[in-house]
């Protein structure tokens, strides 16, 4: 029986990768290695863990022994564990280096020692830095600008060293921003949805003109497994979408869904110490292999809002539920 290890599988993107892996690999043993930080939630994976479909190993990827225990006999490791919130990286950047850089190093060293035949590493479009015109290809120079993106780029550099020195069987994925259920409401889409559900105003960094692309987690998870299967060792693949919104357009889209006027609800708040104006990647390489994104945020927004409405009790400590209309519907 094949064993597939997914680090960070109790988090947002990781849990959707777990769902897709369970669906596509019904005969494999799935092991989730997760430290269960504030971003990890057992409810994201409970449907698989309680049915014994997946096993949760609580541990830190920066601990080599933990990693070695987790990846022993694995035929595939998908590495999605990370400190992922850019805002936090300005105040707590050493934690980002510890998890994202040292953690990735410990994990690949464990994979090398245990002779794991493939590691798929999840990176981000943010490693390219700001792209104002055109789109970055996989060959472009990495110019990260924040402690988060620098730590993700540094992790990639460690992996490149392993590819060259040890012929380590690594495939790197750089993805656009993601949207979907289970995303911790520190990121813009769930945060705005939760603010509107609890009758609060929408804080927007700077002038709201920063742009981001948004890819659905279901497209993303399918692309990750597609690349795990078809991607060449040592190669990097961008996963992208054409769905691009400024932060203000995002606020408008979500306000429209709630039947609200955006200008009545936004507060412009001081910007991050650095905030890339735009990211843009080309995913022609993946397209030429037959992958295309299928979903659009506009079409998925209703389901997303319903999910947060039904799961607001998870975020009770962050939002005051007393102001929430229809709180009876909160599970
Ligand atoms: N969310 C996005 O928009 C997006 C876009 C592109 C790439 N990515 C990348 O995808 C991956 C997953 O992102 P996400 O948004 O799901 O993050 P997340 O913050 O929702 O989840 C991260 C998970 O990693 C776990 N974790 C954190 N530190 C750990 C450690 N030291 N050891 C073991 N587990 C640890 C957390 O408990 C959590 O379950 C990250 O590598 C991120 O850089 C995310």
Residue-wise pLDDT for 40-57, tens only, equals 999 999 999 999 999 999
Pocket test for ligand 1, best of 39, 86, 240 (most atoms within 8 A of CB): 39
61 pLDDT above the threshold of 50: yes
80 lines ligand 1 (CB under 6 A): yes
**The domain that contains 203 carries what CATH number?**
3.90.25.10
CA of 114 to the centre of ligand 1 (A): 24
99 lines ligand 1 (CB under 6 A): yes
Residues 152 and 196 in one domain: no
Segment (H or E) for 238: strand 236-239
Task: With H, G, I as helix, E, B as strand and everything else as coil, classify residue 202.
Answer: strand
CA of 85 to the centre of ligand 1 (A): 9
Range with top average pLDDT, 56-65, 202-211, 265-274: 56-65
Q: What is the average pLDDT score of the chain?
A: 95
d(CA 56, CA 34): 7
Segment (H or E) for 110: helix 103-113
Residues 83 and 107 in one domain: yes
**Residue with the nearest Cα to atom 21 of ligand 1?**
11
Contact criterion met (CB below 8 Å) for 130 and 237: no
CA of 217 to the centre of ligand 1 (A): 13
CA of 15 to the centre of ligand 1 (A): 10
Catalytic residues: 125-126, 148
- Is 135 inside a domain boundary? yes
Pocket test for ligand 1, best of 5, 6, 8 (most atoms within 8 A of CB): 8
**Residue with the nearest Cα to atom 8 of ligand 1?**
124
- Is 324 inside a domain boundary? no
Residues 207 and 220 in one domain: no
Tokens representing 280 are 């843009």
- Is 327 inside a domain boundary? no
Atom of ligand 1 nearest to the CA of 184: 20
57 lines ligand 1 (CB under 6 A): no
pLDDT tens readout for residues 232-284: 999 999 999 999 999 999 999 999 999 999 999 999 998 888 889 999 999 99
Check residue 91 and give its pLDDT: 94
d(CA 60, CA 102): 11
Contact criterion met (CB below 8 Å) for 127 and 149: yes
Q: Give the 3-state secondary structure of 247-308.
A: HHHHHHHHHHHCCCCHHHCEEEECCCCCCCCCCCECCHHHHCCCCCCCCCHHHHHHHHHHHH
Check residue 324 and give its pLDDT: 59
Residues 134 and 194 in one domain: no
DSSP state at residue 142: P
- Is 86 inside a domain boundary? yes
Check residue 140 and give its pLDDT: 98
Q: Which domain holds residue 268?
A: 188-211+244-279+296-317
Check residue 329 and give its pLDDT: 31
200 pLDDT above the threshold of 50: yes
**The domain that contains 112 carries what CATH number?**
3.40.50.720
d(CA 177, CA 128): 13
pLDDT tens readout for residues 132-184: 999 999 999 999 999 999 999 999 999 999 999 999 999 999 999 999 999 99
79 lines ligand 1 (CB under 6 A): no
Residues 204 and 220 in one domain: no
Give the strands of the sheet with 244-246, arranged side by side.
177-179, 211-216, 244-246
Pocket test for ligand 1, best of 61, 80, 149 (most atoms within 8 A of CB): 80
Check residue 35 and give its pLDDT: 98
Task: With H, G, I as helix, E, B as strand and everything else as coil, classify residue 82.
Answer: coil
Least Cα distance to 71 among 111, 17, 99 occurs for 111
d(CA 110, CA 98): 16
What percent of the chain has pLDDT above 90? 93
- Is 290 inside a domain boundary? no
Residues 33 and 99 in one domain: yes
pLDDT tens readout for residues 17-26: 999 999 999 9
pLDDT tens readout for residues 291-307: 999 999 999 999 999 99
The predicted model gives 81-98 an average pLDDT of 96
CA of 7 to the centre of ligand 1 (A): 9
Check residue 274 and give its pLDDT: 87
pLDDT tens readout for residues 109-132: 999 999 999 999 999 999 999 999
d(CA 213, CA 211): 7
Instruction: Tell me how many domains the chain contains.
Output: 2
192 pLDDT above the threshold of 90: yes
Residues 175 and 195 in one domain: no
CA of 81 to the centre of ligand 1 (A): 4
Select the more confidently predicted residue: 14 or 321.
Answer: 14
78 lines ligand 1 (CB under 6 A): no
Residues 80 and 141 in one domain: yes
CA of 90 to the centre of ligand 1 (A): 17
Least Cα distance to 20 among 70, 54, 67 occurs for 54
d(CA 75, CA 179): 29
Atom of ligand 1 nearest to the CA of 98: 31
35 lines ligand 1 (CB under 6 A): yes
224 lines ligand 1 (CB under 6 A): no
Contact criterion met (CB below 8 Å) for 268 and 208: yes
Check residue 317 and give its pLDDT: 86
């Amino acid at each position: 029986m094949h064993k597939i290890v997914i680090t960070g599988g109790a988090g947002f993107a990781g849990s959707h990768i777990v769902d897709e892996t369970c669906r596509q690999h019904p005969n494999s043993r799935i092991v989730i290695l997760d430290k269960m930080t504030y971003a990890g939630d057992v409810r994201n994976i409970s449907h698989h863990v309680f049915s014994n479909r997946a096993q949760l190993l609580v541990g830190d990827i920066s601990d080599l022994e933990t990693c070695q225990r987790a990846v022993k006999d694995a035929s595939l490791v998908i590495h999605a564990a990370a400190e992922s919130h850019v805002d936090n990286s300005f105040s707590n950047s050493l934690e980002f280096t510890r998890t994202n850089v040292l953690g990735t190093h410990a994990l690949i060293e464990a994979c090398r020692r245990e002779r794991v035949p493939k590691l798929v590493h999840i990176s981000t479009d943010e490693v390219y830095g700001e792209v104002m015109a055109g789109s970055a290809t996989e060959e472009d120079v990495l110019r990260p600008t924040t402690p988060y993106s620098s730590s993700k780029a540094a992790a990639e550099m460690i992996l490149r060293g392993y590819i060259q020195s040890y012929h380590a069987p690594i495939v790197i994925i750089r993805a656009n921003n993601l949207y979907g259920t289970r995303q911790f409401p520190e990121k813009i889409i769930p945060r705005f949805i939760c603010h509107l559900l609890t009758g609060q105003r929408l804080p927007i960094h700077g002038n709201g003109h920063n742009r981001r692309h948004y890819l659905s987690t279901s497209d993303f998870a399918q692309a990750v497994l597609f690349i795990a299967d078809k991607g060449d060792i040592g190669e990097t693949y961008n996963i992208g979408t054409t769905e691009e919104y400024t932060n203000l357009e995002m606020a408008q889209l979500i306000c429209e869904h709630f039947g609200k006027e955006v200008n009545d609800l936004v507060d412009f708040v001081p910007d991050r110490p650095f905030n890339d104006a735009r990211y843009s990647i080309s995913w022609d390489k993946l397209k030429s292999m037959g992958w295309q994104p299928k979903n659009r945020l506009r079409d998925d927004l209703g389901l997303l809002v319903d999910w947060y409405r039904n799961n607001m009790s998870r975020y009770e400590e962050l939002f005051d539920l007393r102001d929430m209309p229809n709180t009876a519907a909160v599970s």
